[in-house]
Amino acid sequence: MSTMYGGVYTTMTEKYPTNKILPWGMSFHSDNSQLEDHDIYRKGWYLKGKRIAVMVGGGIAAYKTPDLVRKLYQYGAHEVYVYLTPTALGFVSIKALKWNSATVVTELTEFSEHLEQFSACLVVPATYNTINKFANGIADNAVTTTLAAAFGLRTPIIMAPAMHGDMYNHIVAANCAKLAAMGVHFLTPRQQNNKLNVPSAMDMVTAVCRA
């Protein structure tokens, strides 16, 4: 079976036509990739065999999590779990995370998801609330409880703080210093418009690779 697209004649039996003009006039050129829709193009194997936990706090930067998960897989991660606070669910969808092949945990069950063992834990965005709770031993949701267990297992923990500049006060500064003294690694946030923003996805992936 064949059809005509804007003057370029192609066969409908071709899974990846090499060139066609779409009905609205935009040209499309396929690279004949054999990747299926959910497959991920590998860029490296720095995280080969690694199980990574991404802990998502309730900040607007949470919407970037699906792209971060995909990049972790691109650099070889074997498995990525995403833990979310209740507030984080207002900024990123479970469906988007699952589309990127992540195992998503929003609440703890009888299967003890907080006791999973990981090669590294990345907290992003590490919000005012999450940092202060973790530093003071409060474990009241999927993220903080899993962090408590990871700390006990001596799993490398990486924090990517993000908050409005006015919220970076002596309380959170003291708790960041407290956690850093106990071995928690903090990524330097990007500062812009009186806000502390998370680093780029590649900077965070690099930190996980080095953990």
Distance of CA 173 to the CA centre of its chain: 24
Report residues of the chain scoring pLDDT below 70.
Answer: 1-39
Dist. CA 76–CA 90, nearest whole Å:
29
Amino acid, single-letter form, for residue 179: L
Q: What is the pTM of this model?
A: 0.83
Identify whether the C-beta of residue 78 lies closer than 8 Å to the C-beta of residue 48.
Answer: yes
The confidence score (pLDDT) of residue 14 equals 40
Tokens 């092949």 map to which residue? Answer: 101
The confidence score (pLDDT) of residue 1 equals 40
Identify whether the C-beta of residue 176 lies closer than 8 Å to the C-beta of residue 161.
Answer: yes
Identify whether the C-beta of residue 87 lies closer than 8 Å to the C-beta of residue 61.
Answer: no
Helix (H, G, I), strand (E, B) or coil at 2: strand
The confidence score (pLDDT) of residue 30 equals 61
The confidence score (pLDDT) of residue 100 equals 84
Cβ burial, residue 110 (10 Å; 0-12/13-18/19+): exposed
**Distance between terminal CA atoms of the chain?**
54
Identify whether the C-beta of residue 189 lies closer than 8 Å to the C-beta of residue 160.
Answer: yes
Dist. CA 39–CA 54, nearest whole Å:
20
Helix (H, G, I), strand (E, B) or coil at 118: coil
The confidence score (pLDDT) of residue 27 equals 59
Helix (H, G, I), strand (E, B) or coil at 10: strand
Over the stretch 154-177, which tens digit does the pLDDT of each residue have? 999 999 999 999 999 999 999 999
